[in-house]
Amino acid sequence: MWSIRKASGFLGKFTLDGSLKTVVVTNNHFVASKEAASQVVATFEFEEGKDIKMVELDPEIFFKTNKVIL
Look at residue 57 and tell me whether its pLDDT is greater than 60: yes
| CA 33-61-57 angle, 5° bins | 60
What's the total number of domains in the chain?
Answer: 1
- Give a yes or no: residue 50 inside a domain: yes
- Give a yes or no: residue 70 inside a domain: no
Q: What is the pLDDT of residues 7-20, one digit of tens each?
A: 888 888 889 889 99
Distances (CA, A) of 36 to 15, 39, 67: 24, 6, 14
Look at residue 2 and tell me whether its pLDDT is greater than 70: no
- Give a yes or no: residue 69 inside a domain: no
- Give a yes or no: residue 67 inside a domain: no
**43 Cβ neighbours under 8 A, 6+ residues apart:** 52, 53, 54, 55
pLDDT at 1: 55
Domain limits at 36? 9-56
pLDDT at 53: 85
Q: What is the pLDDT of residues 3-54, one digit of tens each?
A: 777 888 888 888 988 999 888 888 888 888 999 899 988 888 877 777 888 8
* DSSP type of residue 31: S
- Give a yes or no: residue 47 inside a domain: yes
- Give a yes or no: residue 28 inside a domain: yes
